[in-house]
Chains A and B, each alone.
Chain A
Amino acid sequence: MSDLFGKLGGIYLLPVALALIAFVLIGAPSSWLTLTVAGLAMGMLIFLMASGLSLVFGLMDVLNFGHSAFVSFGAFVAASTLAALSGWLGAPSILLNIAALVLALAAAIAAGLLAGWLFERIIIKPVYHDHLRQILITMGALIVAEQLILATWGGTPTNVPRPAFLEGSIIIGDAAVEIYRLFALVLGAVVYLGLYLLLNRTRIGLLIRAGVENREMVESLGFKIDRLFIGVFMLGSGLAALGGAMWAGYVTLITPALGAEMLVIVFIVVIIGGLGSIQGTLLGALIVGLSANYVGFLAPKLALASNMILMMIILLWRPNGLAPAAKGH
């Protein structure tokens, strides 16, 4: 039985199983399709936000409680860029539409990279090996970052314009599937693929995977992990900012509290998926995205609690999460 389960894909079948159960419970195929696409899209965006956190923890044992500041930062930078380019967004030319979107996402990523670099140098570096102070300091940094965002963009909800070509829905049978969600889904998949290739097909990726398992041994073979680490940290913050930017377009109304809200979901995802591996993070993100949408439809009041319950069940079953990176020490 468990052999069969393993052969079919093991834990990676969980999202499929979840979708099948939801199909039976929901009953209406069109609602199910809409919810499934929404869930997968949400999962992909959460994956963008969570992947960096997970890798950074795996590589350096650093858990950054301020990670979600990059998410908010990316969201607001993208929103401001889009607002500034609103002429291009509404233009009938799809090229101008795309240019505005690309610029907004690029601005978010650039802001994320820069913020990540500053964060790593100022906040993280002095407390590499001290978990207690690390948690406290990164939490303090999250507060400061959130307050800076509040001071810059104000507390009132900010509207996020979407490019015209991503507005509207495609009708499949009876089901309406939002184009923006499909876009988020594709973008997330492309980023995952890119990360997968980076980690599995390049020497840098090999070093990262080895470093996640045993940092000291990688250094004993003559490589400097610190230099690798800041690269991974910046990559992670850039991706989080991209996730935030996409999320802003997904919800279309954002407040500075966005980061703190996402932090909890991102934590649940990396705990479910297991720290240190992007496969695990993707798995956790998809499970959380799907279940949030299904439960939100079936029993709206339980939506948030359902994530928590899901996490508890998975921790009881696998205390280290579904697919954590192998730790050599």
Chain B
Amino acid sequence: MRGTLTVKGAALLIWALLLFAPFLFQDVRQIEVAARIAIFIVLVASYDLLIGYTGIVSFAHTMFFGMGAYGVAIALKQMGPGWTPVLLGSAAGVAVALVLAVGIGLLSLRVKAIFFAMITLAAASVVLVLATQFSQFTGGDDGMTYRTPDLFKPATKLLVDAEGKVLSIAGVKMNGKIAAYYFVFVISAVLFWAMLRITGSPLGTVLKAIRENEARAEGIGYRVVAYRTAVFCIAAGTAALAGATYAVWLKYTGPQTALSFSIMIDILLMVVIGGMGTMWGAVIGATLMVLAQYYLRDLMEVAAGATANIPLLPELLNPERWLLWLGVIFILLVYFFPSGIAGTIIQKGDKA
């Protein structure tokens, strides 16, 4: 059990750091990183529900994420700031995501798992093109900026001191930015907890049985297609909620932040790094990857500058080669390290 405890401990530590992030890291960029980590934990955990717990690969997870984000963004843009558009937009985004998920699931999951991967890829790219084409609603390639509920304005005073100024606790101003961060944190934590409950429930057991041996699960009488479609819908709905939350946090939604294929690649990497089939692994994978995105790229730039006189090295360290290295690392991980960090620690620790 030692391995499992280590992994859970690490994941809980990350959650604890996220909980106190505004007090621990007061730089704007650091809070940005913390919020992104929280969102991506949910996104990766929901994807892991699919790939790790049922063994099917979808390339449409970003699409569902984007539907939530665009739902909120369009609603806020059209109706102005307020809670009604946030709720309506989220609901609409989740609804569209669920309808599409049911459609894709029923259409392709009954044939072959491999069709599913192809069809989700096709669907995601069609949605991406449509989102950029219908620019009167979506802002096209530029995306759209909008205002969020007044509570999240930086000028909003959550707590005031005796003089009517914004109260500071441990040097942190209790303003709208804090409210926005905890909005993101609470939603992410609740969604993560819900998914944890799902994997521990009888449904999780059935899913594992299907993953281990599909034919046998079918023989026992599980309706494999129905279960898979259900999980696909849960994952899609959760991703859409994460997207909606992220749209509120960013106050901007565009193809690059909500729909682009590079987000899908990020999610895949996070799942593989963390370890497929463990919700706790998602926490570790998302954290490491987001940190790398924010800080390793800077490091590459510095390194490329420092090695400018050496042949070849600066070319390889050029931040533009980021995706190349990600691809190489991804392949190597899937080859040599398929159970990821969490999976490996659990296996090794539990054996010892």
Residues of chain A at the chain B interface (Cβ within 8 Å): 57, 63, 65, 123, 126, 131-133, 135-137, 139-141, 143-144, 147-148, 151, 260, 263-264, 267-268, 270-271, 301, 304-305, 307-308, 311-312, 315-316, 319-320
Contact = CB atoms under 8 A, between A and B. Distances in A.
Contact of B113 (A131, A147, A263, A315): A131
A140 B330 contact: yes
Nearest to B118: A267
Given A308-B126, A319-B110, A137 B121 contact: no
B167 interface: no
B321 A147 contact: yes
Contact of B331 (A65, A123, A308, A316): A123
A241 B318 CA distance: 29
A319 B125 CA distance: 21
Given A144-B324, A263-B121, A320-B111, A133 B334 contact: yes
Given A63-B117, A132-B55, A301-B133, A308 B123 contact: yes
A132 B57 contact: yes
B129 interface: yes
Contacts of B338: 133
B334 to A, nearest CB: 5
Contact of B330 (A136, A304, A319): A136
Contact of B323 (A133, A143, A264): A143
Given A147-B324, A264-B126, 20 more contacts: A57-B114, A133-B334, A133-B338, A135-B57, A139-B59, A140-B327, A140-B331, A141-B331, A143-B265, A143-B327, A151-B324, A263-B121, A270-B118, A271-B119, A304-B126, A304-B129, A307-B122, A311-B119, A315-B108, A315-B111
B107 A315 contact: yes
Contact of B335 (A137, A268, A311, A316): A137
Contacts of A65: 117, 121
A216 B65 CA distance: 42
A135 B122 contact: no
28 contacts: A63-B114, A123-B331, A126-B335, A132-B57, A133-B334, A135-B57, A136-B268, A136-B334, A137-B335, A139-B59, A139-B268, A143-B327, A144-B324, A148-B324, A260-B125, A260-B261, A263-B121, A264-B121, A267-B122, A268-B122, A270-B118, A271-B118, A307-B122, A311-B119, A311-B122, A312-B107, A315-B119, A316-B107
A308 B335 contact: no
Given A136-B57, A143-B326, A147-B324, A264 B125 contact: yes
Contacts of A63: 114, 117-118
A234 B240 CA distance: 41
Contacts of A301: 133
B317 interface: no
A267 B55 CA distance: 21
Contacts of B268: 136, 139
Interface string B50-87: 01000101010000000000000000000000000000
A307 B51 CA distance: 27
Contacts of B265: 143
Given A144-B324, A148-B324, A319 B114 contact: no
B262 to A, nearest CB: 9
Interface residues of B, number: 38
B298 to A, nearest CB: 20
A131 B57 CA distance: 9
A144 B121 contact: no
Nearest to B134: A301
B130 interface: yes
B114 A131 contact: yes
Closest 5 CB pairs of A and B: A143-B327, A147-B324, A144-B327, A140-B330, A140-B331
Contacts of A133: 334, 338
Contact of A151 (B103, B261, B321, B331): B321
Contact of B121 (A140, A148, A151, A267): A267
A264 B122 contact: yes
Contacts of A263: 121
Nearest to B115: A271
B328 interface: yes
Contacts of A305: 126, 130
Nearest to A139: B268
B118 A140 contact: no
A315 B112 CA distance: 12
A304 B124 CA distance: 12
Contacts of A144: 324, 327-328, 331
B33 interface: no
Interface string B316-352: 0000010110111011001100100000000000000
Contacts of A136: 57, 268, 272, 330, 334
B96 to A, nearest CB: 15
A131 B118 CA distance: 13
A151 B321 CA distance: 8
Given A141-B331, A147-B324, A260-B261, A308 B122 contact: yes
Nearest to A306: B126
Nearest to A311: B122
A129 B121 CA distance: 22
Contacts of B117: 63, 65, 135
Contacts of B328: 140, 144
A305 to B, nearest CB: 6
B111 A319 contact: yes
A180 to B, nearest CB: 26
B137 to A, nearest CB: 13
